[in-house]
Amino acid sequence: MTGPIELFSREHPAFVHVPLGLVVCLPFMIAAAYRSRYPQTWRRMALRVALVALGGGLLTMASGLYWGRLLNLIPAGRLLPVVSSQGQALQRTLRSHEVNALAGAVLGILCVLLLRRACREPGDARWTGACLLGTVLWAGTWGYVGKQGGVMVFGDAETNKAAAEAINAKKNDAEAELPLRALDYASLEPLQAAPFRSRAHGGREARSWVTASGSDALAAGRPLPVGAYAVLTTWTLGLPGPLHMREAKADGTQAFALYWPRVPEGERAAFGGEDSVYWRSPHPALEACAGCHAAGKARP
């Protein structure tokens, strides 16, 4: 059943039109104060409309934040999406969308203050002029935010190209969605007869599994040969923990992966607030793994 928060967030594209439409009207209302027989009436009406637009805009921003989290574009506990590469055109557009929306809200607060001052000092035309300039900037900023929202929904040349590249990359990558080889760790050779407690992996119970060539190399004290890989399965109180994988690449480097399809709520803070994790090199969170293994501190 859809809850009120989810329903509220999913209606973000509909909510956004109301405050944006009101803000677009403001410059015309303030301009009317110069030509109308009732300039003070127009200023007061503009102030009321600005207050409604600002309040509606803040609610719309909140719904957009929750919607981004529902779509897994914004990690839980964060206000902005994580952009780990330039190829993430959608995340970059969303980040700019949020920053510009916030800038518009700041302009909105400034315009409300200016309109209040203009209403209190109707004889000083400078305040009305400042209101006109401020509302034009406000409308322009939120108008651009709306344009960015349209790009995220309907796409443009950059986002469509990035989406096509991501689809092609997944077609050529059998493990783009799931770490297939790591999940088949039972077909590998175990390095330990029984699980051991690994301090380097959260103090969890762990057991190592290695390809045949890798097992021979590790037994002889040599590093993993090219193409070999090792998998570390972990448990906590009998519940499955993250699955770790290390692979020796042809260029002499090591690639790492971490897979945890259901992260317990109490441990999500350490995983960027995500409830499901599949990280692969060069994910920045795996740099610590590379450093630990390079220093020879990690167990197999």
Write down the pLDDT at residue 169.
66
DSSP conformational letter for 87: T
- pLDDT of 178-188, one tens digit each? 888 889 988 99
pLDDT at 98 over 90: yes
pLDDT at 86: 66
Q: Which tokens hold the place of 193? A: 């007869």
Q: Cα separation of 195 and 234, whole Å? A: 9
Number of domains in the chain: 2
pLDDT the model gives residue 286: 83
Domain boundary among 169, 189, 208: 169
Residue 233 within a domain: yes
Q: Which of 181, 229, 240, 231 is nearest to 205 (CA)?
A: 240
Say yes or no: 97 and 223 in one domain. Answer: no
Whether residues 232 and 274 share a domain: the answer is yes
What mean pLDDT, rounded, does the chain reach?
Answer: 85
Strands (E), 79-220: 189-190, 196-198, 204-210
My answer on whether 27 and 165 are in the same domain is yes
Q: Is residue 51 part of a domain?
A: yes
Contact 121, 162 (CB under 8 A): no
Taking only the tens place, the pLDDT of each residue in 134-188 is 999 999 999 999 998 888 878 777 777 777 776 776 677 778 778 888 899 889 9
Identify the domain boundary among 169, 204, 232.
169
Same domain, 187 and 162: no
Query: What integer is the mean pLDDT of 265-270?
Result: 83
Same domain, 215 and 160: no
Domain that holds residue 199: 180-294
d(CA 114, CA 42): 14
Is residue 175 a part of any domain in this protein?
no
Alpha-carbon distance of 93 to 74, in angstroms, equals 12
Phi and psi at residue 207, in whole multiples of 5°? -150, 140
In a domain, 174, yes or no: no
Residue-wise pLDDT tens digits, 179-223? 888 899 889 988 888 888 888 888 889 999 999 888 888 878 788
Q: Residue type for 185, please?
A: Y
Residues 42 and 160 in one domain: yes
User: Over 50: is that where the pLDDT of 1 sits?
Assistant: no
Helix (H, G, I), strand (E, B) or coil at 8: helix
Structure tokens at 21: 């439409």
Interval 128-133 mean pLDDT: 93
Contacts with 243 (C-beta within 8 Å, 6 or more apart), sequence order: 179, 182, 183, 185, 231, 232, 233, 234, 258, 259, 260
Rounded distance, CA 57 to CA 49, Å?
A: 12
